[in-house]
């Protein structure tokens, strides 16, 4: 969306796009501080939470198959690629290893599979340093992006041409909707899988003041990171679904995040080596974690179409539209449709109905621009 829609299709400069991301972050900080985001989360019924969690599992697994190159669109439709390339051979070796280690409940099995697969990829020519990133080169480029949103090419330029102001506002709205519900979806999906957001934490989320609950603190950290990231020159720093890999490895506390942060710092200095890890090595991890998260679908009564329809569309839209927020949008909209058809419209939480309307408005505005 950032590159192909905002910059290419709508012809905004990358500085302007970053400026809109910055504003999006400020909006998210506002709706987090004013408790709007947690009100939305509390309004989501259990069936939709399970649908979102399972849908994210489908999305992660699909992402893994795409990254590995096992699914191809050469004929215009999705199809299985011919297993005649070294990268696919390495991927299948890694997938087999990841499955075995997971079934054997080996601690750190997914990480072991990634490391072993990366090493196996060396003689196959899959693991190379040809397209790796240099830390010094990246650091040298930082002055050209850091704080650029505060220059004349950034925030001020968004409001110089009044004829494009409606387009600017629509784009910021689209950024905010996507970022907000990508985050909410990921928190719900990964949080339920990890058991991090317990019943006690949910009660604290509802009745506590300030940032007393884990969800409160997580939402605020995510919101501020978006604006800070824009200042440094990166697009939305949302909560990545790949976080589920840490949960799959047994992570259940904040220590997991601390270890991950330390690894990120170390990987910056070892960028040449870390960026050499091929998709063939990381894709199996995504597929295994996706398999784990799809288990949320087991909590859904598939014989009851009232639950099955929103859950089905959540999973399909997340994977096929390559967007968590679109999956949530379809789940909310069809949840409302089902309730209305069954003459149970009064049971729809006003927040769910309002968000469904906002999603429809978002789709209409995107179609217009």
pLDDT in tens, 126-171: 888 776 667 777 778 788 889 999 999 889 999 888 888 888 888 8
d(CA 297, CA 103): 20
What pLDDT shows up at residue 219?
Answer: 80
- Domain ranges, ordered by start, for the chain: 2-368
What pLDDT shows up at residue 280?
Answer: 93
What pLDDT shows up at residue 57?
Answer: 85
Q: Are 37 and 29 in contact (CB under 8 A)?
A: no
Please state, for a pLDDT cut of 70, what percent of the chain lies above it.
91
Confidence check: pLDDT of 201 > 70: no
Lowest mean pLDDT among 67-71, 183-187, 242-246: 242-246
Q: pTM higher than 0.75, yes or no? A: no
Q: Is 294 helix (H, G, I), strand (E, B) or coil?
A: helix
* Token representation of residue 262: 């330390």
The CA-CA-CA angle for residues 357, 182, 349, to 5°, reads 40
108-117 mean pLDDT: 89
What pLDDT shows up at residue 185?
Answer: 77
The torsion defined by the Cα of 340, 344, 349 and 354, in degrees rounded to 10, comes to: 20
What pLDDT shows up at residue 199?
Answer: 66
d(CA 94, CA 59): 20
d(CA 26, CA 166): 19
Residue 89 — pLDDT band, cuts 50, 70, 90? very high
Residue 264 CB neighbour total at 10 angstroms: 10
The torsion defined by the Cα of 322, 325, 330 and 335, in degrees rounded to 10, comes to: 140
What pLDDT shows up at residue 183?
Answer: 79
Confidence check: pLDDT of 241 > 70: no
Quick: pLDDT tens for 255-314.
Answer: 888 888 898 888 878 777 888 889 999 999 889 988 888 888 888 899 988 889 998 998
Mean per-residue pLDDT over the chain, rounded: 84
What pLDDT shows up at residue 111?
Answer: 86
- Encode burial over 62-87: b for 16+ CB neighbours within 10 A, e otherwise: bbbbbbbbbeeeeeeeeeebeeeeeb
d(CA 104, CA 97): 11
- To which H or E segment does residue 197 belong? none
What pLDDT shows up at residue 16?
Answer: 92
Residue 347 CB neighbour total at 10 angstroms: 9
d(CA 356, CA 369): 20
5-19 mean pLDDT: 86
| Residue in this structure with the two tokens 């720093």, named with its chain if needed | 237
Confidence check: pLDDT of 1 > 70: no
Confidence check: pLDDT of 347 > 80: yes
């Amino acid at each position: 969306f950032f590159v192909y829609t905002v910059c290419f299709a709508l012809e905004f400069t990358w500085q302007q796009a970053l400026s809109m991301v910055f504003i999006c972050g400020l909006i998210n900080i506002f709706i987090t501080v004013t408790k709007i985001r947690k009100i939305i989360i509390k309004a989501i019924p259990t069936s939709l939470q399970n649908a979102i969690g399972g849908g994210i599992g489908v999305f992660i697994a699909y992402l893994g198959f795409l990254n590995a190159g096992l699914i191809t669109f050469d004929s215009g439709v999705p199809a299985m690629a011919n297993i005649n390339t070294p990268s696919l051979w390495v991927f299948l070796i890694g997938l087999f290893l990841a499955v075995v280690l997971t079934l054997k409940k080996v601690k750190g099995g997914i990480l072991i599979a990634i490391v072993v697969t990366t090493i196996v990829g060396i003689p196959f020519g899959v693991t190379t340093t040809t397209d790796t990133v240099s830390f010094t080169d990246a650091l040298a480029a930082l002055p050209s992006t850091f704080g650029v949103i505060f220059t004349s090419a950034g925030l001020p330029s968004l409001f110089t041409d009044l004829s494009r102001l409606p387009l600017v506002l629509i784009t910021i709205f689209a950024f905010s909707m996507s970022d907000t519900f990508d985050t909410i979806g990921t928190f719900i999906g990964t949080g339920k899988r990890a058991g991090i957001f317990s019943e006690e934490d949910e009660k604290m989320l509802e009745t506590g003041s300030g940032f007393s609950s884990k969800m409160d603190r997580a939402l605020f950290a995510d919101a501020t990171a978006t604006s800070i990231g824009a200042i440094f020159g990166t697009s939305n720093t949302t909560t990545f679904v790949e976080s589920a890999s840490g949960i799959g490895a047994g992570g259940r506390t904040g220590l997991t995040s601390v270890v991950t942060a330390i690894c990120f710092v170390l990987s910056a200095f070892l960028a040449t080596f870390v960026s050499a890890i091929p998709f063939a090595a990381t894709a199996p991890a995504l597929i295994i974690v996706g398999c784990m998260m799809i288990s949320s679908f087991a909590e859904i009564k598939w014989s009851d179409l009232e639950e099955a329809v929103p859950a089905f569309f959540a999973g399909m839209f997340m994977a096929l539209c390559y967007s968590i927020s679109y999956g949530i949008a379809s789940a909310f909209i069809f949840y409302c449709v089902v309730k209305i058809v069954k003459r149970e419209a009064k049971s729809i939480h006003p927040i769910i109905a309002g968000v469904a309307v906002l999603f429809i408005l978002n789709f209409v505005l995107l179609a217009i621009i």
